[in-house]
Structure 1
Amino acid sequence: MFSYIVKRLLGMIPTLLLVSVVVFLFVHMLPGDPARLAAGQDADQQTVELMRHELGLDLPMPRQFVRYFQHMMQGDLGTSLRSKRPVTTEIADRFMPTLLLTLTSMVWAVVFGMVIGIVSAVWRNKWPDRLGMTLAVSGISFPAFALGMMLMQVFSVGLGWLPTVGASSWKHYILPSITLGAAVAAVMARFTRASFVEVIQEDFVRTARAKGLSERVVVIKHTLRNAMIPVITMMGLQFGFLLGGSIVVETVFSWPGLGRLLVDAVTQRDYPVIQGLVLLFSFEFIAINLAVDVLYGVINPSIRYK
């Protein structure tokens, strides 16, 4: 197991290198002049050229990338053109609100999604199954921004129960986490149901029932562990999606997280921040995939890594 983890960690290096190249080229293809934005719209051409030299934009593209990569390997992602603060500081200030919102959304989405999926699989083709899958299809089909605005209209504007802006108390997490986790809960429900239906038809499950074991024991002890491996894969992918794809929800609720930071950076052509955030999201997906692979061996000891 240890050697497998070390190999995967070493394998992250070329992946991150490739991502950094793609992100660097993509950012430099965006319209707009970073030097002009950094100097200000009212700056004269001489000031703009001085700013371009300070940012290293007057160097050839390969030298710019080498300089950027060297700084990145030292933990320096550059300075925000908008706030003049280090990009690492900008990201660090916004990371925890996004992480807490993601964890909150993921917890309730996994719990409700798995419960609905298991109930639908056990009572397949009966009314609990139809009701659960109707809710799942509704959760997938309903756009996040529309759900967020509807929840704000009902619970904030209409009833006045919950706040809509900010992240200072637990009440601020309720509406954004429901909005963000609704689609994940729906996906988890459908995926859990499909996995359970497949496993529950296996011979070892029929043998357990033939021994006279209760349905609860059959579902929890014999079916759950074997059905969890593909479900955990989906959980990891969905967690990465939530952590890096909460842009719409954070915009709707004015959430002070990474999604809002990325939107502001793209709007204001803050290239260093865009590069830093995309690299962070890429690293998160790679790390989550590694964690999921390690969990395989914890859930199913028969899996061995070579």
Structure 2
Amino acid sequence: MFSFVIKRLLGLIPTLLLVAVLVFLFVHLLPGDPARLAAGPEADDKTVALVRADLGLDKPLPEQFVNFFLNAARGDFGHSIRTKRPVSEEISARFWPTLWLTVVAMVWAVLFGLIIGISSAVWRNQWPDRLGMTLAVSGISFPAFSLGILLVQVFSVKLGWLPTVGDDTWLHYILPSITLGAAVAAVMARFTRSSFIEILQEDFVRTARAKGLTETVVVIKHCLRNALIPVVTMMGLQFGFLLGGSILVEVVFNWPGMGRLLVDAVEMRDYPVIQAEILLFSLEFIFINLVVDVLYAVINPSIRFK
């Protein structure tokens, strides 16, 4: 297991290098001149040229990339064009609100997804199954931004029960986390149902029932662990997608997180912030996949990595 983890960590280097090249090229293909935006609409060409030289944008692209990559390897992503603050400070200030929102959304989505999925599998083709799959299809079909606007209109504007802006109290997390986690709960429910239906048809389940074990013991003790292997894979992927998908939700609720920061950076052509955030999202995806692979052995000890 230790050698497996080390190999996966070493595999981060070429992956992140490839991502850095692609991100750098795509960012510099964006229309607009960040030097012009930083200098202001009233600045003359001479001032814009000075700003461009100060930002290092007057150098050839290969030289800019080498400087960016060498600095990033040391943890230095430069300074934000928009605020002049270090990019690391900009991201660290926005990282925790996004992480906590993602964790809250993931917790309730996994909990409800597992409950609905297991219930639908146990009572297959009965009313719990039909109700659960109807909710799952609705959650997948409803766009996140539309759901967020609807929740704001009902629970904030009409009823006045919940706040919509900021992250000051736990009440601020309710609407954004529901909006962010609805699709994940739906996917988890459908995936758990499919996995459990396959497990319930296995020979060891029939043997457990033949021994006189109750259905609750059969489902929880014998089926749950075996069904969790594919479910954990889906959980890891969905957690990564939640981190990236929080952009639209943060815009709708004006959440002070990384998604909101990325939108502002794109509008201002803030190259250092855009590059650093996308690299961070990529690193999070790779790390989550590594954690999922390690969890396989924890859930099912018969799995061994060589």
**TM-score in terms of structure 2 length:** 0.98
Shift in Å at residue 121 of structure 1? Answer: 0.2
Identity within the alignment, %: 75
Q: Kindly report which structure 2 residues correspond to 1:293-304, keeping only aligned pairs within 5 A, or say none.
A: 293-304=293-304
Structure 1 residue aligned with 2:119 = 119
Shift in Å at residue 38 of structure 1? Answer: 2.2
Structure 1 residue aligned with 2:194 = 194
Matched position secondary structure for 2:11: helix
In the aligned structure 1, how far is the partner of 2:41 from the partner of 2:222? 66
| Pair 1:27 & 2:27 matched | yes
Q: Which amino acid aligns with 1:23?
A: V
Mean CA deviation greater in 54-63 or 118-127: 54-63
Superposed CA offset, 1:163-201 (max 9, x none): 111110000000111111111000000000000001111
Contact between 2:251 and 2:260, CA under 8 Å: does it hold in 1?
Answer: yes
Matched position secondary structure for 1:213: coil
Q: Kindly report which structure 2 residues correspond to 1:30-109, keeping only aligned pairs within 5 A, or say none.
A: 30-109=30-109
Mean CA deviation greater in 164-173 or 145-154: 145-154
Q: Kindly report which structure 2 residues correspond to 1:117-266, keeping only aligned pairs within 5 A, or say none.
A: 117-266=117-266
Shift in Å at residue 22 of structure 1? Answer: 0.3
Q: Which amino acid aligns with 1:89?
A: E
Contact between 1:121 and 1:194, CA under 8 Å: does it hold in 2?
Answer: yes
In the aligned structure 1, how far is the partner of 2:175 from the partner of 2:253? 9
Shift in Å at residue 39 of structure 1? Answer: 2.1
Q: Which amino acid aligns with 1:128?
A: P
Superposed CA offset, 1:218-248 (max 9, x none): 1011100000010000000110011121111
Superposed CA offset, 1:20-56 (max 9, x none): 0000000111111122222222222222222222222
In the aligned structure 2, how far is the partner of 1:129 from the partner of 1:231? 18
Structure 1 residue aligned with 2:3 = 3
* Structure 1 unaligned blocks of 5 or more: none
Q: Which amino acid aligns with 2:30?
A: L
In the aligned structure 2, how far is the partner of 1:17 from the partner of 1:152? 41
Q: Which amino acid aligns with 2:32?
A: G
In the aligned structure 2, how far is the partner of 1:150 from the partner of 1:69? 43
Structure 2 residue aligned with 1:14 = 14
In the aligned structure 1, how far is the partner of 2:161 from the partner of 2:51? 50
Q: Which structure 1 residue ranges, 4+ long, deviate > 6 Å from structure 2?
A: none
Contact between 1:37 and 1:81, CA under 8 Å: does it hold in 2?
Answer: no
Q: Give RMSD over aligned pairs.
A: 0.9
